Chain A
C-alpha cells in the first residue's frame, strides 16, 4: 500500500515538474525566457521546449501583425483647412527583448505608436493641400481653366498623392522606431477616413446644392433650346414644302391654261371670222336680258321680211 501512495506521489510530482520544465511556443507567439529577470533565451519558432522548472519564467509576446488604430484627429493642411483624418497602422514585434524593454506591453505599444503615427501624419498633411490628400485633381485646359464635361461638371482625374503621403509617413515612422530602438517593424500606415470637420459640412452641402442647381437649370435650358430648334426646323421645313408645292401647283395650272388657250386658239385660228361671229352671238345672248330695251330698225336683216315676203335687195349684200 505504501508503494501505491509513493507511486501516486511520484507520478504527481513528475507531472508538475514536467509541466514546469516544458513550454510550448505557438505558431502565433514568440517567447522570452527570464531567469530572475534576466533574459535567458528568446524562442521565435513554434514547438515544445524545455526550461529550468520553477525558476525560468516564460513571457509570451505576439508574433503576428498587430493593429494600431489611431483616433480621428483634425489636421490642418497647407491652406490651414482642417480635415478629420482617421488612420491606422500595422506592426509586428521583431525583437521581443527590445520590445519588452521599451514598449513593454501591446496596449502601451498601441498608444505610443498611435501618437507617433498621428504626429508624423500631421506633419505630412500640413505640407499638402486638400486635393492631394483626397486624391484627385481637376483636369485643366491648355489655357489653365478647368475642363468640364457635357453637363458642365469639372472633370477630375485620380492621383496617387495619398499613397505618396502614406509612404512618406511610413518612412518617417520607421525612422523614429529605428531611432528609438523599439524592437518593432511598422509594416503599413493607412488613412482610413479623411472627412470634412462637422462645422464645414453645411457649407460643403451648400456648394453641392448650388452646383446641382446649376446643372439642373442647364438641362432645363437645353431642353427648351432643343425643343425650340426642332419645332422651328419642323415649321420651316413644312412651310418650304407647302410653298414649293404651291409653286409647282401654279406652274402646272399655268401650263394647263397655256395649253388650253393654245389648243383653242389653234382651232379658232382656222376661221377667225366665224369665231368672231359665233362668239358675238353668244355674247349678245349673255348681254341682253329682260332689263334691256333694244331699238331695231325695220330695215335690218332680221326684219327684212317683216314688210313683205320678198326681201329688199339692198339688204344682206354685205354678208359675203
Chain B
C-alpha cells in the first residue's frame, strides 16, 4: 500500500546544536545585561532544559508492522510512515503522532464472547437471526481484519468505541464494524435457507458476508480490511435443536439400513452363486459317473458277449446252471415228476409257490 520508507511528510532534521545556538543568540541581549552569573543565565539554562526535554519527547520508534500518521497543528502530514526505526516529530502542542500496529490481524466475535480460559458464552441477541426460509438460526461468527489505510482509520469515522472489547472511542472497529458485520451477515443469511447456512453452503455464506462487509466498510472509508469471515457454531436454536438432531439421526439410520441391506445382498448372492456352482458340479459328476458306469457295463457285456459268441451253447448252459446254483439253495423247492403226480416236499415254509420256467429262453 505504501512503499516501504515512502513519502515521509515534512519531517525537519533537527540539529540540537544549531537549535541551542539560535536560542543562545536570541537570548544574548539579555545575558549580556545580566552577566555570566546573573539571573538570566539561570533562566537560560532552565529554558534550554525545558526545550531539550520537550524536543526529546518527540522521539518515537516504529516497530515492525507499525505505521505512524503525523499531524502538525491538526493537519495530517502526507502518507503514513511505515519505515521501522527511530523517528522524530514535533511534540505537542505543535505536532501529534499516532503509531498503530496495522498488519496485526485483529478479531471481532459476533454472537458469542470468548471467556477467560478458552471457553465462550453465547450472546443470543446477536446470534439468533431469520434465514431466508423464515426459520430462526443461531450463527456465531468471527471477523478477522487488519488496517489497510491508517489515515482513513484514524480520521474518517467517529465511533463510540467498545470498551469491553478494548476498542477506544474513535476507532471504526468498534460499533461501526459491529453494526456493519451484523447488517452484512443478516443480509446474507436472509438470502439463504437454514440448511444452506447450517451445512451445505457455509463457505459461500462466509465469502458473501466478507464481500458485503467490505463494501460497507469501504463506503464509510474505515480503512479496515476484512481478512476473513469465519462462521463458528452455526446451528438451529436451542428450542428446536432436538428436532434437527433427529433429522441427522434419521439420515444416518437411512444410510445404515441401506448399508445393512447391501451387506445382506453381498452375502446372499455369492452364496447363491456358490450353491449354484456346487449343484452344477454335482450334476456333472453324476453325468460322468453314469456314463462311466454305463461304459463299464457295456464293456463288460461286450466282453462277455465276445466269449459267449465263441462257444454259445456251453456258455449259455454254464451261465444258466451257475445262476440256478446261486438261486436255488436259498429258496424252498418242490420238485415234481409230472408222471408221478406226487409232491415231494423238501423245504419247510412253502407259502409262496412261484412257477419257474421249465425251459430257459422260452418266455
Q: Give me the interface of A with B, judged by CB distance under 8 Å.
A: 3-4, 7, 24-29, 45-48, 62, 64-67, 69, 88, 90, 130-131, 134-138, 151, 153-159, 162-163, 187-188, 190-196, 201, 204-205, 208-209, 211-213, 215-220, 222-224, 226-231, 233-235, 237-239, 241-242, 244-246, 248-253, 255-257, 259-261, 263-264, 266-268, 270-271, 273-275, 277-278, 280-282, 284-285, 287-303, 306, 316, 318-320
Residues of B within 8 A of A212 (CB): 236, 240, 243-244, 246-247
Q: Are B284 and A252 in contact (CB under 8 A)?
A: yes
Question: Could you pull out 10 A-B pairs where Cβ atoms are within 8 angstroms?
Answer: A67-B176, A153-B193, A188-B216, A223-B254, A223-B257, A226-B254, A259-B287, A260-B291, A295-B353, A319-B361
Known: A154-B133, A205-B237. A263 touches B187 (CB 8 A): no
Identify which of A131, A155, A192, A281 contacts B179 (C-beta below 8 A): A192
Tell me if B53 is interfacial: C-beta within 8 Å of chain A: no
Known: A46-B74, A136-B193, A162-B187. A293 touches B353 (CB 8 A): yes
Q: Are A195 and B280 in contact (CB under 8 A)?
A: no
Residues of B within 8 A of A216 (CB): 243, 246-247, 249-250
Tell me if B167 is interfacial: C-beta within 8 Å of chain A: no
Residues of B within 8 A of A157 (CB): 191
Q: Are A134 and B243 in contact (CB under 8 A)?
A: no
Q: Are B276 and A245 in contact (CB under 8 A)?
A: yes
Identify which of B136, B271, B317, B359 contacts A204 (C-beta below 8 A): B136
Residues of A within 8 A of B82 (CB): none
Q: How far is the CA of A298 from the CA of B333 in the complex (A)?
A: 12
Identify which of A192, A208, A280 contacts B183 (C-beta below 8 A): A192
What's the minimum C-beta distance from B158 to chain A, rounded to whole angstroms? Answer: 4
Question: B298: nearest residue on chain A (CB-CB)?
Answer: A267
Q: How far is the CA of A260 from the CA of B293 in the complex (A)?
A: 8
Q: How far is the CA of A319 from the CA of B156 in the complex (A)?
A: 139
What's the minimum C-beta distance from A285 to chain B, rounded to whole angstroms? Answer: 5
In the complex, the 5 A-B pairs of residues with the closest C-beta atoms, listed nearest first? A136-B132, A158-B191, A256-B287, A245-B276, A267-B298
Interface of B, helix, strand, loop or mixed by DSSP: helix
Q: How far is the CA of A177 from the CA of B268 in the complex (A)?
A: 80
Q: Are B349 and A291 in contact (CB under 8 A)?
A: yes
Q: Are A227 and B359 in contact (CB under 8 A)?
A: no
What's the minimum C-beta distance from B253 to chain A, rounded to whole angstroms? Answer: 5
Q: Are B338 and A135 in contact (CB under 8 A)?
A: no
Q: How far is the CA of A317 from the CA of B214 in the complex (A)?
A: 129
Tell me if B135 is interfacial: C-beta within 8 Å of chain A: yes
Q: Are B190 and A136 in contact (CB under 8 A)?
A: yes
Q: Are B74 and A29 in contact (CB under 8 A)?
A: yes
Q: Are A135 and B191 in contact (CB under 8 A)?
A: yes
Known: A192-B179, A194-B190. A288 touches B354 (CB 8 A): yes
Q: Are A136 and B133 in contact (CB under 8 A)?
A: yes
Q: Are A28 and B193 in contact (CB under 8 A)?
A: no
Tell me if B104 is interfacial: C-beta within 8 Å of chain A: no
Q: Are A303 and B335 in contact (CB under 8 A)?
A: yes
Q: How far is the CA of A157 from the CA of B196 in the complex (A)?
A: 11
Q: Are B158 and A64 in contact (CB under 8 A)?
A: yes
What's the minimum C-beta distance from A155 to chain B, rounded to whole angstroms? Answer: 7
Q: Are A67 and B256 in contact (CB under 8 A)?
A: no
Digitize B227-256: 1 where CB-to-A-CB distance is under 8 Å, 0 elsewhere: 000000000110110011011011101111
Interface size on B, residues (CB 8 A): 134
Q: How far is the CA of A13 from the CA of B260 in the complex (A)?
A: 98
Identify which of B39, B264, B326 contacts A231 (C-beta below 8 A): B264
Known: A45-B75, A46-B73, A220-B250. 4 other contacts (CB 8 A): A27-B74, A192-B186, A219-B251, A264-B294
Residues of A within 8 A of B288 (CB): 256
Tell me if B19 is interfacial: C-beta within 8 Å of chain A: no
Residues of B within 8 A of A65 (CB): 156-158, 176, 220-221
Residues of B within 8 A of A249 (CB): 279-280, 282-283
Question: B350: nearest residue on chain A (CB-CB)?
Answer: A293
Question: B184: nearest residue on chain A (CB-CB)?
Answer: A190
Residues of A within 8 A of B144 (CB): none
Residues of A within 8 A of B330 (CB): 288-290
Q: How far is the CA of A270 from the CA of B302 in the complex (A)?
A: 8
Digitize B175-202: 1 where CB-to-A-CB distance is under 8 Å, 0 elsewhere: 1100110110011101111110000000
Q: Are B133 and A295 in contact (CB under 8 A)?
A: no
Q: Are A292 and B74 in contact (CB under 8 A)?
A: no
Q: How far is the CA of A238 from the CA of B264 in the complex (A)?
A: 11
Q: How far is the CA of A229 from the CA of B262 in the complex (A)?
A: 10
Identify which of B186, B258, B349 contacts A230 (C-beta below 8 A): B258
Q: How far is the CA of A77 from the CA of B165 in the complex (A)?
A: 36
Digitize B131-145: 1 where CB-to-A-CB distance is under 8 Å, 0 elsewhere: 111111000000000
Residues of A within 8 A of B335 (CB): 295-298, 303, 306
Tell me if B164 is interfacial: C-beta within 8 Å of chain A: no
Q: How far is the CA of A249 from the CA of B182 in the complex (A)?
A: 76
Q: How far is the CA of A269 from the CA of B67 in the complex (A)?
A: 118
Question: A289: nearest residue on chain B (CB-CB)?
Answer: B330
Q: Are A156 and B283 in contact (CB under 8 A)?
A: no
Known: A134-B132, A293-B352. A285 touches B323 (CB 8 A): yes
Tell me if B49 is interfacial: C-beta within 8 Å of chain A: no
Tell me if B265 is interfacial: C-beta within 8 Å of chain A: yes
Q: Are B283 and A250 in contact (CB under 8 A)?
A: yes
Q: How far is the CA of A211 from the CA of B358 in the complex (A)?
A: 99
Tell me if B76 is interfacial: C-beta within 8 Å of chain A: yes
Q: Are B327 and A284 in contact (CB under 8 A)?
A: yes
Q: How far is the CA of A207 from the CA of B250 in the complex (A)?
A: 19
Q: How far is the CA of A162 from the CA of B262 in the complex (A)?
A: 49
Q: Are A261 and B294 in contact (CB under 8 A)?
A: yes
What's the minimum C-beta distance from B40 to chain A, rounded to whole angstroms? Answer: 8
Best-buried of B134, B288, B297 by chain A (most CB within 10 Å): B134
What's the minimum C-beta distance from A74 to chain B, rounded to whole angstroms? Answer: 14
